[in-house]
Amino acid sequence: MHKSVDVSADAMIDDLRTLVEIESPSRDLDALTASAKAVAAVIESRLGGQAILVESEAGPHVHWSAGGDPKVLILGHHDTVFPLGTLERRPFMVEDGHATGPGVFDMLGGLVQALHGLATLDDRSGVEILVTADEEVGSRSSRALIEERALACGAVLVFEGAAEGGGLKTGRKGCGTFQVSIAGRASHAGLEPAAGVNALIEASHQVLDIAALGRPDIGTTVTPTVASAGTLDNVVPAEATVIVDVRVESADEKERIESAFAALAPHLDGAEIAVQGAISRPPMPESASAELFAVAKRLLPDLEGKAVGGGSDGNFTAALGVPTLDGLGAVGGGAHADHEYLVIEAMAERANLVAGLVNAIRNT
């Protein structure tokens, strides 16, 4: 069993400050390039070797390998949801046992913990690190690389923030977004309303049909989240759009929901419907994490495992049948919110956990 090693919280905070203070909003290629270079520099300073920037249309991903037969993939992302300028309004701070600032919990803190945990190992052979640039926007440019390295390594540790209370994430719902576009026909709302086809009324019918697809009793949620319609108050609206968030726990439900969206039909004569989207992240079943979670429990017996609704890149690796354990990152909360925070006291323990997991995986 891995023996805990003293890890410097101060050194981890220094590295965290470095990464947080280089803002990295998704889709901002200049910002993401600067962020990727900073991540690579921190990796190299803590672990040696060379971190490679893998260019993509979404910005650079960062890949590092210790060499040897690949055994375990450390997976994370350096993009954040916060726009440029957030740091000025909400600077990195350490106070009352918490670190705050944009991205500390999701997921720069987890990345720092992983690096410092790995740094305690004299032998890092078989370890790879992949830090992507587009997780927050669907991982379209990184998915193939993630899947390739996961299959090559055979085990994946994901450093997204921990579940509420510090638990690891042993299962995740599949998730996706659908856009339903409705085409009607404009007419004067006062002079000849019957000559039009009211896209807003059609959208209202569709929202009710779509919401009825949910099966919360088996973990399927179908939530219309954004709608738009109309141009002027005296014009029958010719167009409307409805955006829908979907979460499912099983592959069968993924198929049912996607088929149901494809089969949506108009209620009004003359209305037309077009559907875009899919459940792009497949479900991560708890079976995918069972073996690795058992190892984590041996290292930290008080750990809890929780299945959660949000998706991560762990969904992709689990769907390949690669053992995947998620939520190994920062203990804290407030992902995507202004009150985002990281619990400093937990950092050393979680850094040692990654070292213990890596040793256990390589020795099996």
* Residue found by looking up tokens 């990295």 in the block: 24
Q: Which of 81, 80, 115, 106 is nearest to 160 (CA)?
A: 106
Contact 245, 173 (CB under 8 A): no
Q: Which of 120, 48, 156 is nearest to 349 (CA)?
A: 120
Q: How many residues does the chain have?
A: 364
Contact 56, 114 (CB under 8 A): no
- CA 96, distance to chain mean position in Å, is 28
- Amino acid (one-letter) located at 140: R
Triad 310, 316, 319: Cα angle to 5°: 105
Q: Which positions are annotated as active-site residues?
A: 79, 135
**Neighbouring residues of 135: CB distance < 8 A, sequence distance ≥ 6:** 77, 79, 142, 312, 313
Q: Which of 210, 212, 244 is nearest to 227 (CA)?
A: 244
Q: How far apart are CA 22 and CA 33, in angstroms?
A: 10
| Angle, in degrees to the nearest 10, between helices 109-119 and 9-20 | 140
Strand extents, DSSP E, the chain: 52-54, 61-65, 72-77, 93-95, 98-100, 127-132, 156-158, 168-172, 174-183, 221-229, 239-248, 272-281, 305-308, 324-325, 332-333, 341-343
What tokens were used for 155?
A: 């085990």
CB contact burial 216-231 (16+ within 10 A = b; e otherwise): eeebbbbebeebebbe
CA distance readout (Å), 297 to 107, 177, 301, 314, 321:
23, 35, 5, 19, 21
